[in-house]
Structure 1
Amino acid sequence: MRPILLQGHERSLTQIKFNREGDLLFSASKDHVINVWFTDNGERLGTYDGHNGTVWTIDVDSQSTFLVSGSADNLMKLWSVQTGKCLFTWEFNTAVKRVAFSETDDQIVCVTEQRMGYQGAIWIFDINREGDGTQQSKEPANMFHPVGSKATLCAFAHVPGMIVTGHESGKVALFDAKTGEEVQSNERAHMDVVTDLQLSSDRSYFVTSSKDKTARLHETKTLEVLKTYTTETPLNSAALSPGKPYVLLGGGQEAMSVTTTSLRQGKFETRFWHKIFEEEIGRVKGHFGPINTIAVSPKGDCYASGGEDGFVRVHHYDESYFRAKPYGDLEVDE
């Protein structure tokens, strides 16, 4: 698996995201810039310029029409994927840590940080898809403050009007988007801050990674922990592989403590775990620092990782990956 190295950022990566077809890869980083790349050859298609702070988070709609981004400059921006033009900007009192489109692309949910006397909040905005996308409402469809531990991650859950969140204390919760009521919560989902949350394609289950050195698979409806993958380094990202029973994990020691350890001990590898058997089955090296974000193409033919070193590495799977029998001789109907 020879990786394609994408060099378009000057600082560490914060989030990478494939579009639904898997032919485009979007990358956000601490250098204020968002890039978009062709997945098959790693060619840079363009950039989205306009933020004045670390871009913490991005998401693209299922039609690859709109891109949404959240940044440390307290802004959330809506972009035209095709032209790179900023269509609309929402302003907040604190940084936007996570953004996500709903399944039907007509809503965006975002989490703003708790800071400087402002409470952390979850905001839901209706997206007007008529016309060129510049006619958006500044007013949220709803906004609420999660009680207790502050939320760092959010996404639309398995049914419309439900939001799943990951928190600093390690808890995951389900909120009603209309009332802001906490419908379900699992306080002990993790023992430390939840660093990533990615849903399966049908949103019936999701994977989380945490600084407590574990990644976990949860059922969306009940938040029950189905599987646990325990490693020996803090994890920053976890992704699910469509079509194969694999979970990809990435992390590594903080950059500060890395100088005292060798690269080998830093564990800067993408680690493949068997989703069902909870066993590690492979590792891919390459980054010179912790892996901050991992994404798998919805087609299942490649994956990408973004690191503290400022590089995005795109790995297209070899033929042997598709021939491998993850369940031994057992044939599984897809």
Structure 2
Amino acid sequence: MKPILLQGHERSLTQIKFNTDGDLLFSCSKDNIINVWYSHNGERLGTYEGHNGTVWTLDVDSESRFMVSGAADNTLMLWDVQSGKCLYVWEFPTAVKRVAFNQADNQIVCITEQRMGFQCAIRVFDIDRSGDGTNQSKEPRYMFNPIGSKATVCDFTYTPDVIFTGHESGKVALFNVKTGEEIANNERAHGDTVNDLQMSKDYTYCITSSKDKSARIHDTKSLMIIKTFTTETPLNSAALDPKRPYVLLGGGQDAMSVTTTSLRQGKFETRFWHKIFEEEVGRVKGHFGPINTIAVHPAGTGYASGGEDGFVRMHHFDESYFKTDLYGTGNIIIED
């Protein structure tokens, strides 16, 4: 499985994302720019320039018409994917750390940082899809401050007006965005900061990865922990393979201690775990520093990882990946 090395960023990657069709890969990093690539050959299609600080997060709608990005320059930007034009800018008192579209593509949720006396805030904006997209509302449809530990990641669930959040304390929660009320929480979902959250295709479960060296699959309605994958290194990102029973985990030692560590000890590999058996089944090496973000192709044909080293590595799975016996060699006999 030879990777395609994508060199378009000068600093460490913060998030990568495939579009719904899987033909485009979007990447953002600490160098202020967002790149878009063809996923089949790694060719760079274009660059979105406009932010004046680290771009922490991005998301693209299901039609690949609009993209939204949040950055350390305290702005949230809406882009036209095709032309690369910035259509609208929302400004906040603090940095935007996470952003996500809902399933209908008509709303976005964003988290702004708790800093300089400002509380962590979650805002939901309506996206006007009529016309050229420049006519957006400046004010959020809903806004609230989560009580207690600050939120680090969020996404919409399949229940209307309910979002799933991960927090600095390690808890996960469900919030009603209309009232700002916390509907349910699991205080002990993780023992440390939740670094990443990725939903399954049908939004019924999701995977979170944490600084506490574990990734967990949660039911998005009851918040029950379904599966746990424990490693010996902090995890920055975890992704679900939509077609095979595998999860992909990426992380590595904290960036500050990387210089004192050899590659082998740093654990900078992408790890493949069996989703059902909770066993590690393989590793893919390559990055020269911690893996910050992982995304799996929507068709399950490959995956991409973005690292502290500034590289995106795009892998297309070999034939052998699809031919492996998923549940051991024994045949399952179903009796009438």
Normalising by the smaller structure, the TM-score range is: over 0.9
State the Cα distance separating 1:328 from its structure 2 match: 2.5
State the Cα distance separating 1:159 from its structure 2 match: 1.2
User: What residue number does 1:243 align with?
Assistant: 243
1:187-232 per-residue CA deviation (whole Å, 9 max, x = no partner) reads 0000000000000000000000000000000000000001100000
Once residues 125 and 320 of structure 1 are traced to their aligned partners in structure 2, the CA distance between those partners, rounded to angstroms, is: 44
Once residues 158 and 191 of structure 2 are traced to their aligned partners in structure 1, the CA distance between those partners, rounded to angstroms, is: 25
1:54-82 per-residue CA deviation (whole Å, 9 max, x = no partner) reads 00000000000000000000000000000
Equivalent residues, number: 332
User: What residue number does 2:86 align with?
Assistant: 86
User: What residue number does 1:37 align with?
Assistant: 37
Counterpart mapping for 1:104-183 below 5 A: 104-183=104-183
The 3-state SS of whatever aligns with 2:256 is helix
Once residues 260 and 12 of structure 2 are traced to their aligned partners in structure 1, the CA distance between those partners, rounded to angstroms, is: 20
Once residues 21 and 324 of structure 1 are traced to their aligned partners in structure 2, the CA distance between those partners, rounded to angstroms, is: 25
1:20-73 per-residue CA deviation (whole Å, 9 max, x = no partner) reads 000000000000000000000000000000000000000000000000000000
User: What residue number does 1:306 align with?
Assistant: 306
Q: Which amino acid aligns with 2:3?
A: P
User: What residue number does 1:293 align with?
Assistant: 293
Identity, in percent, stands at 73
TM-score by length of 1: 0.98
Q: Which amino acid aligns with 2:328?
A: G
The 3-state SS of whatever aligns with 2:64 is coil
Once residues 20 and 304 of structure 2 are traced to their aligned partners in structure 1, the CA distance between those partners, rounded to angstroms, is: 15
The 3-state SS of whatever aligns with 1:259 is helix
Q: Which runs of 4+ in 1 moved over 2 A?
A: 328-332
Q: Which amino acid aligns with 1:21?
A: D
Counterpart mapping for 1:17-96 below 5 A: 17-96=17-96
Once residues 261 and 90 of structure 2 are traced to their aligned partners in structure 1, the CA distance between those partners, rounded to angstroms, is: 43
User: What residue number does 1:210 align with?
Assistant: 210
Q: Does 1:272 align with 2:272?
A: yes
Q: Does 1:12 align with 2:8?
A: no
Q: Which amino acid aligns with 1:305?
A: S
The 3-state SS of whatever aligns with 2:228 is strand
State the Cα distance separating 1:258 from its structure 2 match: 1.8
Once residues 140 and 128 of structure 1 are traced to their aligned partners in structure 2, the CA distance between those partners, rounded to angstroms, is: 12
Once residues 253 and 165 of structure 2 are traced to their aligned partners in structure 1, the CA distance between those partners, rounded to angstroms, is: 25
Once residues 244 and 191 of structure 1 are traced to their aligned partners in structure 2, the CA distance between those partners, rounded to angstroms, is: 28
Q: Which amino acid aligns with 1:262?
A: S
Listed as ranges, the gaps of 5+ residues in structure 2 are: none
The 3-state SS of whatever aligns with 1:315 is strand
The 3-state SS of whatever aligns with 2:260 is coil
The 3-state SS of whatever aligns with 2:116 is coil
- State the superposition RMSD in angstroms: 1.0
Listed as ranges, the gaps of 5+ residues in structure 1 are: none
Once residues 43 and 109 of structure 2 are traced to their aligned partners in structure 1, the CA distance between those partners, rounded to angstroms, is: 30
User: What residue number does 1:194 align with?
Assistant: 194
